[in-house]
Amino acid sequence: MAFAHLTSLLRNLFHKQREERELDEELRSHELLLADEKIRAGMNPQEAHRQARIELGGLEQVKEQVREIRAGHLLETLFQDVHFGLRMLRKNLGFTAVAVLTFALGIGSTSAVFSVVDRILFRNLPYPQDNRLVSFGLLAPIERDEFMLGSSYVDFRREPGPFEAITSMNPGTTGCDLTEQNGIRLSCALVEQTFLPTFGIQPLLGRNFSLDEDRPNAPRVALLSYSLWTSRFGGDPGVLDKTVSLDGIATRIIGVLPSTFEMPTLSAVDILVPQALDEAQQHRANPGVVLRTFARLRPGLDVPKTIAALQPWFDKALAGAPPQFRKEIRLSVRTLRDRQIQDVRLASWLLLSSVLAFLLVACTNVANLLLARATGRQREVAVRAALGAGKRRLIRQSLTESGLLGVFGALAGSWFAYLLLRLFVSIAPQGIPRLDQARLDARVVIFTLGITLISTLLFGLAPALQIPALDALVGKDVRATPHNFLRQTFVSAQIAISLILLAGAGLMLRSLWNLENVRLGMQTENVLIEDVSLAQYRYPTPEKQLAFFAELESRVNRLPGMMAVALSDSLPPSGRMRSTILAAIEVAGRPLFNEGTGGSVAWRAVTPSYFAALDIRIIRGRTFQPSDLLANEDPIILSETLALELFPTANPIGQQLRLFRIPGPWRTVVGIAADVKNDGLATQAGPEFYLPWKNDPVESLNEGYVVVRTRMNPKAVAAWMRAETSELDSTLPVNIEAMSQRVGKLTARQRFDAMLLSLFAGMGVLLAAIGIYGVVRFLVEQRTREIGVRIALGATPQDILKTVLANIGRWTMVGSALGLFGAWASARLLQSLLFQVRAHDPSLFGLALVLLIVVVFVAAWIPARRATRVDPMVALRYE
Amino acid sequence: LRQEQTNLLQGTLDMMILKSLALKEMHGLEISRRIGQITKGTFQVKPGSLFPALHRMEEQGWLVSYWGESENNRRAKYYKVTSAGRRQLEAETKRWDRIALAIIRTLEAS
C-alpha cells in the first residue's frame, strides 16, 4: 500500500499532464454516456446534453476534488515554488553568486568555529554524568592543578566526605617500555583501583583491576588503551590474560579500554597500571607523594556546597601540615571541564561570539541584496498579486527563494568550513584543547542546519513582508522609503559590528605582537634542540644513561659548523623542569627561611657551553668550566632574580649555599646569569639556578636535550644529528626542532585567536564595504531623475557628490558611534586575554575607526561618482 | 462522531463500488447505475463523489483502469478490481456484517 502511494505520488509528479488529459477525457465520456442514456430514454439530443451537463455538476469542481484526492498536492506547489525560485536565481546569476558566496562565508566560518569550541564548551566529556565529575584537593602557588599528598589522601579516602566516589592517580604519565621483540616506548599512567568506576568507565574487554591487584608488590596487571590494542595486538580478544614484559616486569593484561576513553588530564596514555600506593609507607614518609585527585559529586551537591562541606576537614588537615605550607595553600574543587580547558573558556566564547557577529553582518548583507532586488521586482509581484496570488502564497514564494539561497549557501559553506577547519588545525596544532578532535560531524551538521534556518528567516523575512501595494502596477517608480530606511539601518549595523570586530582584532594582534617580541633572555635563532628520551630497559642505570649523553655530545661536537654544543636536562621558556622551593635553599651563615615556601625556584643541570649555546648573558662572575665537572667541585650559577632575592645587598659571588634541605655539599656561587623566561612568555621570569651536568651517576636521567648553536643550514645539521643519533642507538626516536619553533608553539593559542578574529574582522569589513557599495549604487540609480534635474538646474558634480555622500555619512556616523560604544563595552571582557595592552587603548580604537571610515568612504565613493556623470537629458527621459 | 460518520459513509461507497465491480468491469456511469439498481434507488451516486472515490481507490491499488469501448461504441474508462481490491471487499464485508449485527442487536435489545 505504501508502495502504491509512492508510485502514484511519482506518477502524479511526473505524468502530471497526461493525468490531467485523461481526467478530462474520462469526464467528457461520462457526460456523453449520460446523454446517450437520456436519448435512449426518448429525450431530444439537445436537451439530453444539457441535462447531462447539469447532472455532472460543476466539471471544474469535480476535477479539483479529484486533484485534491491525489497524493502530493502540497508537494506540488512547493515544487512549483522551487522551480520558479530556481528560475529567478538563474536569471540573475550575479546576484545569486554574491548572495550565496556571502552566506557561505558566514555559515562556513560559524560551522568551523563551532566545531572547535563545541568540544571545549558544550560537548559532554566522554564520561557518564560528566557534570558531576570534579578535580579536588589543594592548590599552592607552585602548582596550578589540584593535588593531595599521599599521607593525607590515604586517610581521606576512608571517609570521602561529601563525595560519592573519589580516586587518584600519579601526576602525568610516565614513559614505559614494552620490552619484547620490537619493544616500543609507551606512555603509562598509574591509577588507583577506583579510577575507572569513579569516572564511570567500563572496560571494552576484560575487567578493571581488583583491590588486591592495587596493593604494593602484587603481581602486575594492566589495561590496554584501544589504540594500543588494535595497533599492537591486532584487536585480538585473546590478548586477555596474556603476559607481556613491561619495563622488564611480567605484566598480565586484564582488560582493554573503550575507544572513547580519555584521561581526565587529557594526556595521551597507552596503558593503565595499578598505582599500588603503600599506605604505611605514605604515613611514614609524611607528607608522601603528590597525587592528582578526582571525585564524583553526590547528586544534588554543587561545587560551592561541596567546598563548604570540605572546609572543616581541610582546616583540620592543614593543622598538621608543615608550617611553611600553611599560609599559601588553599582548598579547591573545580569541574573536570574547567580543569581541562583552563583559561581557554573566555577565548572560546570570544571566537564564537565574533563569528556569530560576522554571520550577522553576512545575513544583513544578503538581506540588503534581497531588498534591492525586491524593489526591482515590485511590478512583477504586483502583477502576480493582481492575478490572484494570495498574500500567503507570495510570502511563501519569497521565503522559498531565500530558502534556496540558504541551501546553496549552506552547501558551499560546509565546504568552506572544511577548508577553514584544516587551516585551524595547521595554525594551532597544540594551542587549543581537543582541536585535533574537531570534525564536521552530525552535531556540527545539525548546528549548521539550525543556523542556516535562523539566518534564512533573518534575511528572508524582510523582503518577504514587503508585498507591494497595487500602485506599483501603475508603473510609476515608487520611492520605497521603508526599504531605504531598512537598508540604511542594516548598513549602520554592519558598520557597528565591523568596528567591534576590528577593535577586538586590533587588541589581539597587538597583544600577540607583544608576546612574540617579549625579551626571552636568550637568542633562539640558529639554535637546534634534540630531545632525547632514553628507554629505561635499554639504559637501566644512570651510568649507561650518562655515557650515552656524553657520547652523543662528543659526536655532535665533531660535526662541522658547530658554534656551541651543550647538554641540559630541561629547557626554557616552558616545559618540564625541576624545581624546589626557596625555603629549601640554605645560605651559609643565615638561619633557615621559615616564612612559607617562598615560592618555587626552578633549576637545571647544564654543561658549560649551555650559556653560549643559548646566548644567555653572564652578568657577574663566570660560566661553568670543564674543571667544575670534577667530583669535588660544587659550583652554582644563580639567575639575576634569585640572586637579588637571596642577596639583596651583598655580592653573591663566592657565597655558599646548600640545597634541598639535605645534608649535601655546600655550593659556591660562581656566576650570575641574566634572567630567562622560564614560566611561559606572559609571566615574569621566575628565580632559577644552574648546576653543572656532572657525569657522576647519582640519579636516573633518562630525559635530556642536546642544544646546538650552528652557523650552518639548520636542516643539514638536523640531518647529521639524526644520523649520529641513530648510529648510536637505532631504536631511539629522534626529535629535533629549531628553538624558535619550540618557542613559537607557546604563542600558538594567541596566534590562533588573533588570526581568527582578524579573519572575521577582515571579512566583516569587506562585507560591510560591499553592502555600502550596493546601497549607494541603488540610491543613485533611484535618484537618477532627481539628480538629472539638479544638474540641469546648475548643480556642480561636487554638489551632487556631497549630497550623496552626506546621506551615507549620517549612517556611517550612527554605525561608528554604536560600534565604538560596543567595542568599548566588550573590550573590558577581553582584558584577561591581553598581554601588555590596555583593553581601552585609544590609539588602537582610533586606528580601527579610521580604517573603517576609509573603507566606507571608498565603497561609497565609487558608485557615488556615477551620480556626477548623469547626463541630464538622458536622466529626464529615463523610463 | 462526525469523523466516524464520514468514514462509515466513505467505506460504504467503496464497498458498493467494489461489490459492483466484482461482477464485471464497468465504466463510471455503469457503476453509478448499478449501485442505484442494487439499492433500489436508495443511493444515487453523483459524479462529484464517484470520481474522487474511483481515483482514490485506484491510488490505493484496489482498482485498475483502462480505456475501452462502451456498448454503443463510445470510448470510456473502465475500472477493474485488483486482488488487493477483492481482499479489501472481503474485509469490508466482514466489518460491515459485524456492525450491522451489532446495530440489529442494539435495536432488538431496546
Q: For residues A4-18, give the mean pLDDT.
A: 60
Measured CA to CA in angstroms, residue A583 lies from A594, A597, A622 at distances of 6, 5, 26
* Residue A211 DSSP SS3: coil
Neighbours of A352 (CB within 10 A): 19
Average pLDDT score over chain A? 80
Residues A265, A267, A270, A274: what is their CA dihedral angle, to the nearest 10 degrees? Answer: -30
* Residues in chain A closer than 8 A to B61 (CB atoms): 1, 4
More confident residue, A514 or A390: A514
Per-residue model confidence as pLDDT tens digits over A576-609: 777 777 777 777 777 776 666 677 788 888 888 8
Q: For residues A809-819, give the mean pLDDT.
A: 88
Q: For residues A303-316, give the mean pLDDT.
A: 81
Task: State the pLDDT at residue A38.
Answer: 86
Confidence of residue B7 (pLDDT cuts 50, 70, 90): very low
Residue A222 and residue A305 in contact, taking contact as beta carbons nearer than 8 Å: no
Task: State the pLDDT at residue A487.
Answer: 78
More confident residue, A663 or A35: A35
Q: What is the CA radius of gyration of chain A?
A: 38
Per-residue model confidence as pLDDT tens digits over A120-144: 888 788 888 888 888 888 887 667 7
* Residues in chain B closer than 8 A to A69 (CB atoms): 52, 55-56, 59
Q: For residues A341-346, give the mean pLDDT.
A: 77
- The C-alpha atoms of residue A510 and residue A833 are separated, in whole angstroms, by 12
Percent of chain A with pLDDT over 70: 88
Is the predicted pLDDT of residue A5 greater than 60, yes or no?
A: no
Closest CA of chain B from A451, distance in Å: 39
Of A5, A27, A61, nearest to B59 by CB-CB distance is A5
More confident residue, A745 or A402: A402
Q: Which of A266-270, A313-317, A328-332, A475-479 has the lowest mean pLDDT?
A: A475-479
What is the value of pTM for the model shown? 0.71
Task: State the pLDDT at residue B92.
Answer: 84
Of A5, A30, A37, nearest to B47 by CB-CB distance is A30
Of A1, A30, A55, nearest to B28 by CB-CB distance is A30
* Residue A786 DSSP SS3: helix
Is the predicted pLDDT of residue B5 greater than 50, yes or no?
A: no
A253 Cβ partners below 8 Å, 6+ apart?
A: A206, A221, A222, A223, A224, A239, A240, A241, A242, A243, A244
Is the predicted pLDDT of residue B40 greater than 50, yes or no?
A: yes
More confident residue, A51 or A389: A51
Task: State the pLDDT at residue A810.
Answer: 85
Per-residue model confidence as pLDDT tens digits over A636-666: 888 888 888 888 887 888 887 887 766 778 8
State the count of interchain CB pairs (< 8 A) between A and B.
68
* Residues in chain A closer than 8 A to B28 (CB atoms): 26, 30, 33
Closest CA of chain B from A62, distance in Å: 5
A750 Cβ partners below 8 Å, 6+ apart?
A: A431, A508, A511, A512, A515, A833, A835
Say which amino acid occupies A125. L
Report long-range pairs for A630-633 (Cβ below 8 Å, ≥24 apart): A631/A694, A631/A696, A633/A692
Task: State the pLDDT at residue A469.
Answer: 56
Is the predicted pLDDT of residue A83 greater than 90, yes or no?
A: no
- The C-alpha atoms of residue A233 and residue A224 are separated, in whole angstroms, by 10
Task: State the pLDDT at residue A590.
Answer: 73
Is the predicted pLDDT of residue A92 greater than 70, yes or no?
A: yes
Query: Which of A59-68, A718-727, B85-94 is predicted most confidently?
Result: B85-94
- The C-alpha atoms of residue A680 and residue A575 are separated, in whole angstroms, by 8
* Residue B65 DSSP SS3: strand
Scanning every residue of chain A, which has its alpha carbon at the shortest distance from the alpha carbon of B54? A66
Of B46, B48, B76, nearest to A33 by CB-CB distance is B76
Q: For residues A828-850, give the mean pLDDT.
A: 83
Scanning every residue of chain A, which has its alpha carbon at the shortest distance from the alpha carbon of B76? A29
Percent of chain A with pLDDT over 90: 0
Per-residue model confidence as pLDDT tens digits over A683-715: 777 888 888 887 665 666 778 888 888 888 888
Confidence of residue B1 (pLDDT cuts 50, 70, 90): very low
Q: For residues A487-514, give the mean pLDDT.
A: 86
Determine whether the interchain pair A1/B60 forms a contact, defined as Cβ–Cβ distance below 8 Å. Answer: yes
Confidence of residue A675 (pLDDT cuts 50, 70, 90): confident
Per-residue model confidence as pLDDT tens digits over A227-259: 888 888 888 888 888 888 887 788 888 889 988
Confidence of residue B37 (pLDDT cuts 50, 70, 90): confident
Task: State the pLDDT at residue A597.
Answer: 66
* Residues in chain A closer than 8 A to B56 (CB atoms): 69
Place of cell 577581553: A830
Per-residue model confidence as pLDDT tens digits over A423-457: 888 776 666 677 777 777 888 888 888 888 888 88
Task: State the pLDDT at residue B80.
Answer: 92
Written as nine digits, the cell of A643 is 640572586
Per-residue model confidence as pLDDT tens digits over A815-832: 899 999 988 888 888 887
- The C-alpha atoms of residue A633 and residue B17 are separated, in whole angstroms, by 115
- The C-alpha atoms of residue A83 and residue A89 are separated, in whole angstroms, by 10
Distance of CA A777 to the CA centre of its chain: 39
Per-residue model confidence as pLDDT tens digits over A254-279: 889 988 888 888 888 888 888 888 87
Neighbours of A708 (CB within 10 A): 30
Is the predicted pLDDT of residue A7 greater than 70, yes or no?
A: no
Place of cell 497524493: A71
Place of cell 655530545: A553
Task: State the pLDDT at residue B79.
Answer: 93
Residues of B with CB under 8 A from a CB of A: 27-29, 46-48, 51-52, 55-56, 58-61, 70, 72, 74-77, 84
Residues of A with CB under 8 A from a CB of B: 1, 4-5, 8, 22-23, 25-27, 29-30, 32-34, 36-37, 55-57, 61-62, 65-66, 68-71
Written as nine digits, the cell of A213 is 591487584
Determine whether the interchain pair B59/A8 forms a contact, defined as Cβ–Cβ distance below 8 Å. Answer: yes
Confidence of residue B78 (pLDDT cuts 50, 70, 90): very high
